[in-house]
Amino acid sequence: MRRRIALLALLSAFVLAPLAAGPYLLSVLVVVMYMAYLGQAWNIMMGFAGQLSLGHSLYGGLGAYVTAALFVNWGVPAVLGLPAGIAVAVAAGAVVGALGFRFGVKGVYFALLTIAFAEFTRVLFEHIPSLGGTGGLFLPVGSRDGVDLLRLRGHPLMFYYLILAMAVGAFLLCRRLLACRIGYQWLAVREDQEAAQALGINVFRAKLAAVMLSAGLTAAGGVFFAFYYNTLFPTQAFGMGRSIDIILAPIVGGLGTLFGPILGALILTPLGELITWGTEALGFKAAGLKQLCYGLSLLAIVKFLPDGVWPWLRRRIGFDPADDEEEGT
């Protein structure tokens, strides 16, 4: 009960934030929500089903490129292009998953497989002239004053509420999934694959479902990215850096927890801004100092809170341990 109240209070704070936040803070909050959303999507695969993907930018990039290409070349509104983007990403996820799981590719080897797919897709997209190749795909920016949800053109506030809705939606979806049969199957597979198989769980199907669902959700995040920034470059959309961005929030927040990706995003993005502000306020203007401090902060979090911040915080604030079951931890 206490947790629900806390969640509602947090949600209310986010809904009302634009009333107090200026454009700068709003842009930071958009990044927070975007990272929370992507982290939630990745968490399904790694946190719930235990399958390490280090090439998750593949799905975001595919969703982004397909939807953006439909919009740029044929004027297909973003909302109508979105299913196509998701379908392509889900298909890619199915291929990666089927290849990996059918041939028993596990652990770091599966992670390498996901990186390989992201990398060769990046190279492939660098050589597709109709999608801009290395020169990038630019979406016409259009008006930023109105609200056009069909074409995803409009004011930054529209994008803020959109990504907030996506993050909340992903949270609720994951919560629901964990209470379903498939959720329990994922947790069983994550804890002991052989035991899960012995219990009659179709491990291949369960893992494939996790990959495809995660890919589809990540693709929707990619669509948001494309229409928010209006530029797509293969290195930026499919690059390793993007994949690492995706996984940081759930790792810092708490892998396999529902609230971990949100908390992780709430820590990481503002932490970067705070470090920038702090170093500037103290008169340190050396380039790269922020990254150094950021890296050290991450090291400290991983060292002292190896399970992530949320499991520690949950214990500190004394949330009902029964809630743990809902979180798959």
Partner 1 sequence: MPVSRFPFVSRRDFLAGTAAGAAALGVGGSLRPARAAQPLKVGLLLPLSGSLAREGQSCKRGADVTPALMADLGMPVQLMIADTETNLDTARTRAEKLIADGAEVLIGAFESAQTLAVAQVCEQRGVPLVINIAAAPNITEQGFKTVFRNFPTAPRLVTEGLALMKEMFKTSGTTPSKAVFMHNNDTFGTAMAGAVGKLFPTLEMPFPIVETISYDGAARDLAVEVGKAKATGADLLILVAHGEDSIKVIREMVKQRFEPKAVVSPGSPGMYEVQFYKTLGKYADYSLTNLPWINPHTKMSQALLTAFGKAYPDALFEMNVGFTFEAILIAADAARRAGSTNPKALLDVLPTTNIADHVMIGGPIVFDAKGQNTNTRSATIQNFGGRPKVVFPAEAAEARVVFPAPGWQQRG
Q: Which residues bind partner 1 (CB under 8 A)?
A: 22-24, 26-28, 31, 34, 126-127, 129, 133-136, 138, 140-141, 144, 155-156, 229-231, 233-236, 241, 272-273, 276, 285, 287-288, 290-291
Instruction: Provide the minimum distance between the beta carbon of 325 and partner 1 in the complex, in angstroms, as a whole number.
Output: 35
Residue with tokens 């502000």: 277
| Residue 11 one-letter amino acid | L
Instruction: Provide the minimum distance between the beta carbon of 250 and partner 1 in the complex, in angstroms, as a whole number.
Output: 18
Contact assessment for residue 166 and residue 224, using Cβ atoms and an 8 Å cutoff: yes
Instruction: Provide the minimum distance between the beta carbon of 241 and partner 1 in the complex, in angstroms, as a whole number.
Output: 8
CA distance 91 to 114: 14
- The torsion angle over the Cα atoms of residues 10, 14, 15 and 18, rounded to 10 degrees, is 150
Of 72 and 178, which has the nearer Cβ to partner 1?
A: 72
Contact assessment for residue 69 and residue 237, using Cβ atoms and an 8 Å cutoff: no
CA distance 188 to 202: 11
Query: Nearest to residue 211, comparing CAs of 117, 112, 116, 98?
Result: 98
Of 184 and 294, which has the nearer Cβ to partner 1?
A: 294
| Residue 36 one-letter amino acid | A
Q: Calculate the CA 30 to chain-centre distance.
A: 13
Residue with tokens 């008169």: 283
- Name the token pair of 267: 């820590």
Instruction: Provide the minimum distance between the beta carbon of 116 and partner 1 in the complex, in angstroms, as a whole number.
Output: 17
| Residue 310 one-letter amino acid | W
CA distances (Å), 94 to each of 60, 89, 165, 215, in order? 15, 9, 27, 9
Q: Calculate the CA 68 to chain-centre distance.
A: 19
| Residue 82 one-letter amino acid | L
Of 79 and 128, which has the nearer Cβ to partner 1?
A: 128
CA distances (Å), 54 to each of 57, 103, 109, 125, 137, in order? 8, 19, 11, 19, 24
| Residue 5 one-letter amino acid | I
Q: Calculate the CA 128 to chain-centre distance.
A: 26
